[in-house]
Structure 1
Amino acid sequence: MTRPPQDRTPCCQTRRALLGLIGTGLSSLATGVGTAAQAPRTPGCIVRPEQMEGPYFVEARLRRSDIRAERVGGAPKPGVPLHLTFRVLRFDGRRCTAVPGAVVDVWQCDARGVYSGVRDFAGRFDTRGEQFLRGYQMTDAEGLARFVTIYPGWYPGRAVHLHFKIRTEPGAARGEAFTSQLYFDDALTDRIHSRPPYRREGVRRTRNADDGIFQAGGEKLILNLTRSGESASQAGEAYAAIFDIALSGSGA
C-alpha cells in the first residue's frame, strides 16, 4: 500500500506548495481565481482557492473510507452522516482530465468541536492517541475519492468547516500538496446544530461571514449538500456532496 509522505512543513502556513504548479498556473490557484477565461466550461472543472492547513493536521496514515470511528471496528462518532466525494481533475489550459492515484486526506472536529490525535493549543482537549474523523483515500481512475464522515461541530473563533489535503505524488521524498478547507451553508448548520449531539455545545458564535479564513475565498469552498437516504442516522437524516476541484498545470 502506498503511504503518503511525512509532511515536515509548518502546520499553520497560509500558502503551501501546490500540486506540481509551475508558472501561470501557480498564481491562479493560489489566489483562488477561477474565471471562465482560465477554465473550460466542463462540468466540475473548477479551480479552487488554497487555504491554511491549521494546527490539527496529523500524518495518521489511516487509509479508510469511513473515518467516523476512533479505530477500525469501533463505534462511529455521533452526528449527522455526511457522504463526501472528491473529484480531482487537472486543467492543463485546454481541457480537464482525471487525476488517479492522488492521496486525499480529510480531518475535522466532532460534534463537540474536538479533533483527535492532538493536544489543543487553547487547552480545550487532549486527544493524543485517538484517531476519529481522520483518514485518507487514493483517487481512482476517474479521480474520485469517497469518504463517510459526519457534519462537523463548531469551536470558538471558526465557522463550521472541515480540512482536506491532496497530494499527487504520495511516494515522492518531498510531498507537493494542495491544502484547503470546506464550508457549509449557515442556515443548514443552524438547523442541524439545534439538535443533539450538537446542541449541548450551545449556540455557535462564528458564522461564515465572521470567519477571517473563510473570507479568503471561502465562498468557492461551500459544499452543495443533498439529502441522502441513510436510514441509520438521526431520524433518517444524512447528506451527500461531490466536491469537484481542478488542479491547474500539467503536473509534470
Structure 2
Amino acid sequence: MKRKDFFKKGLAGLGTIVAVPALLSACSTEDSEDIKNTNDSNDTGSETDGDCSLSPSETAGPFPIKTPSDLVRENIIGDRSGVALLITLTIQDQSDDCEPLSGVYVDLWHCDAQGDYSEYGGTGMQSTNYTNNHFLRGRQTTDANGQASFISIFPGWYNGRAPHIHIEVLDQNENSIRVTQIAFPKDICDTVYATSDYNGEANTLNESDNVFSDSLDGNMLDSITGNTTDGYTLLKTITV
C-alpha cells in the first residue's frame, strides 16, 4: 500500500486518541525529535550471516494475540488514549541476501498507556480485566517492498519490563518465522511518559531488562521521529 493511501485510509476515525496526529508532516517537522540507531552489532542476541543479522528471537510474552486472523487492520488503537504512533516495519529475508519479503503476515501487539494488555486480565499478572477487548493488536500483510504499517499509540510500561512492542512474522501458511520485540530509547520514553495518559518514568531500563539485556542493539528501533503533540513515526527493519 502506498504511504499516502495508508494515511488516507488509516487516519480516519482515530476516536479518543490524544493529539490526533499530523503524521503526514511529523516526519519533516523541523523541531521534531529524531533518534536513529545503526543496527550493525554482532551481539549474542542476533545470529549473523555476513552483514545481514537475524533479528533477535524473543519470547511472545505472557500476552500474545489469541486470534490474529480476526484482527486484520491498520488502525489498532481501539478505545485507547495516548501519544500517536505510526509504526512502519520492513521485513527482509536473510536467506535471500536480505531482500524485502512480501506477502507474509506481521502480527503486532503491545500494552496501553497504563501498561495493560487487551485479551487478558483479572489475574495477579494484570488486575484490570480486558479479556473481551482487542485494542493495540493487529495483523497486516507485507507489500511488494516488504513493508507493513500500523497506526497505534506509544506503548506504556509495566513493572519489570522496559517499554517494548511485540512482533511475530508468519509465512503465508501462518507458520511462525520469527518472534521478536522492539525497544525504545529512554529519552523519548521519558518525554512521552511525562504526558497525562502515562504513569511517569519507566522503572526498568533497557540494559536491565531480562529480554533486551543481551540483544539490545538488535531490538532497538531504527529511527523515531516526531513529538508528543503531532505524534511519532517509528521505523524498524526485521530480518527473518
Deviations 1:80-123 (A, max 9, x none): 11111111111226x22221111100000000001001124424
Greater fraction of residues in strand: 2
Deviations 1:38-74 (A, max 9, x none): 234xxxx5421111110100233200011111xxxxx
Distance 2:43 2:143 in 1: 23
* Pairing 1:40-51 to 2, within 5 Å after superposition: 40=51, 46-51=53-58
Distance 1:191 1:134 in 2: 24
Determine which of 225, 233, 237 is the counterpart of 1:240. Answer: 233
* Pairing 1:179-198 to 2, within 5 Å after superposition: 179-198=179-198
Q: Look at both structures and tell me which one has the larger radius of gyration over its CA atoms.
A: 1
Amino acid at match of 2:144: A
Instruction: Report if the CA contact (8 A) 1:182-1:222 is conserved.
Output: yes
- Is it true that 1:63 corresponds to 2:72 in the alignment? yes
Aligned to 2:23: none
TM-score normalised according to structure 2 size: 0.74
Amino acid at match of 2:178: F
CA 1:142–1:123 in 2, change beyond 3 Å: closer, same or farther?
closer
Aligned to 1:39: 50
Amino acid at match of 1:32: S
Deviations 1:167-214 (A, max 9, x none): 01335xxx233101111001111111011111xx24421111121111
Deviations 1:13-60 (A, max 9, x none): xxxxxxxxxxxxxxx9995133xxx234xxxx5421111110100233
Deviating beyond 3 angstroms after TM superposition, the runs of 4 or more aligned structure 1 residues are 28-31
Aligned to 1:54: 61
Amino acid at match of 1:151: F
TM-score normalised according to structure 1 size: 0.71
Determine which of 83, 97, 100 is the counterpart of 1:98. Answer: 100
- Is it true that 1:169 corresponds to 2:143 in the alignment? no
CA 1:48–1:68 in 2, change beyond 3 Å: closer, same or farther?
same
Q: What's the secondary structure of 1:189's corresponding residue? A: helix
Q: What's the secondary structure of 2:91's corresponding residue? A: strand
Q: Which moved more, 1:103-112 or 1:162-171?
A: 162-171
How many Å apart are 1:146 and its aligned residue? 0.8
Distance 2:46 2:224 in 1: 25
Identity across the alignment (%): 28
Distance 1:98 1:132 in 2: 28
Instruction: Report if the CA contact (8 A) 1:101-1:138 is conserved.
Output: yes
CA 1:190–1:161 in 2, change beyond 3 Å: closer, same or farther?
same
- Is it true that 1:112 corresponds to 2:121 in the alignment? no
Amino acid at match of 1:190: D
Instruction: Report if the CA contact (8 A) 1:39-1:47 is conserved.
Output: no
Amino acid at match of 1:179: V
Structure 1's unaligned 5+ residue stretches are 1-27, 70-74, 248-252
What is the RMSD computed on CA atoms of the aligned residues? 2.3
